[in-house]
Structure 1
């Protein structure tokens, strides 16, 4: 038997979870698209492959997929895809193992935040979006 901690509130908790998980992506995706030339420059700075294409992928993944997660559209596969993207960005953008001092600590924190966010996205992929979603309509 499955334990239901929140009773009927599980769907509300899943909605809140989707909003909380996607907020970071939507905010930063919006910043990336509105400052696109700066995004391309950042991609060059961190050594992302094909900076222009990397910037486009970042905007799509963060802004578009983030919004789709919030509304609960193709939630399970997109949560897995966004988790993989989040791990990839941790590896490309937060390579703390090559740094020292405060820079190392800041990038280590951001690396493991990405890992934790990916874990939340994978949990969402397993549980599904709940009834307050396009997927459930």
Structure 2
């Protein structure tokens, strides 16, 4: 009895909270890269870290974090966004954090690891009831039903 998943309404609230928290964190990092540091300084930082194709990598990461963070907050294209953000996080781990050990205080990988696993869990579970993705699915389902009803005459 104690070892069951949350009831559906509580699970949807949990998914909403996880999605919004991860989205805000990613959006904030993208905002910092895009509007505070700018792509030029972000690219310089990537070059100093020996990240390959620094201008392309910096641009990709910035857009994924900024736009993807917003999309994650509203629950739109959740699986795709989580996948792209996971690629960004794995890149950050490989090129920056793993060589520094586990602890974030030392620049280690624990934060990017937790974010990556959270993103993968969201991709696996879906965005939940309170999302744009759900609204789109419901609209598409209604459209299919109407098309089928019209075709039957």
The structure with the largest alpha-carbon Rg is 2
Aligned-residue RMSD, C-alpha: 2.1
Distance in 1, Cα, partners of 2:128 & 2:34:
30
Q: Aligned partners of 1:122 and 1:22: how far apart in 2?
A: 13
- TM-aligned CA deviation for residue 122 of structure 1: 0.6
Q: CA deviation at 1:9?
A: 2.4
Q: Partner residue of 1:106?
A: 106
1:35-69 superposed Cα distances (whole Å, 9 cap, x missing partner): 21221111111011122111111111111111111
Gaps of 5+ in 2: 136-153
Aligned to 2:52: 49
Correspondences of 1:45-124 after superposition (within 5 Å):
45-96=48-99, 106-108=106-108, 111-124=109-122
Number of aligned residue pairs: give it.
129
Unaligned 5+ runs, structure 1: none
Distance in 1 (alpha carbons) for counterparts of 2:46 and 2:12: 38
Of structures 1 and 2, the one scoring higher in RCO (CA 8 A, sep 6+) is 1
Task: Kindly indicate whether the alpha-carbon contact (under 8 Å) linking 1:96 and 1:105 is maintained by their aligned counterparts in 2.
Answer: no
Residue 81 of structure 1, CA deviation? 2.2
Q: Deviations over 1:2-29 (max 9, x none)?
A: x442442222221111011122211110
Deviation beyond 3 Å, 4+ runs, structure 1: none
Write the distance in 2 (CA, Å) between the matches of 1:17 and 1:84. 19
How far did residue 77 of structure 1 move?
2.4
| TM-score where L is the length of structure 1 | 0.84
TM-score norm. by structure 2 comes to: 0.76
